[in-house]
Amino acid sequence: MFVMQGIHLRVVGVCDSKSLVVASDVLSNELNDNFLSEVFRVKVDGFSLLTLWGLGECQVFKNSELKEKVIDVASVMGKSTGLAFVDCSASSETVGVLTRVVDLGCCIVLANKKPLTSTMEDYYKLVSHPRRIQHESTVSEILSWIKQS
């Protein structure tokens, strides 16, 4: 659980390029601090999130199911909960998902400008709701913000 300036940030899912780990019930559960520490350890060691299968109360989805599940979570939690998707990749491959989640009322936070360098159509779709998008030029600045909370 992240608490910043009295605001509780619930982490309900984490994904990498090949897999997604999401809380068993995104409306009532979250990924706890111990689980998030394990996610961090797995990624530092160079492994996929798929290795977390069966650990804790979560669901793990493979690449083929990844985008569909992200959209499902966004449609359930979008406007009603203030769901924010944080993209720390340096890839424009996430643009399709990002534009869909913005359409569903979610906010997006970009730690890299690469998703904004896709087509002009995608760019305008992402920035058409300026209150739903925040971006920064480096992941280290985002990580610094998280560490301070």
How many CA atoms does the CB half-sphere of 37 hold within 13 Å?
4
pLDDT at 144: 52
- 3-state SS record for the chain: CEEECCEEECCCEEECCCEEEEECCCCCCCCCHHHHHHHHHHHHCCCCHHHHCCCCCEEEEEHHHHHHHHHHHHHHHHHHHCCEEEECCCCCCCHHHHHHHHHCCCEEEECCCHHHHCCHHHHHHHHCCHHHEEECCCHHHHHHHHHHC
pLDDT at 10: 81
Report the DSSP beta bridge partners of residue 60: 21
Map out the domains of the chain as residue ranges: 7-63, 83-149
**pLDDT tens digit at each of 149 positions of the chain:** 556 567 777 888 888 777 888 888 888 888 888 888 888 898 899 988 888 877 777 888 887 788 888 888 888 887 677 778 888 777 888 888 888 888 888 888 888 888 888 889 988 888 887 667 777 655 555 555 555 54
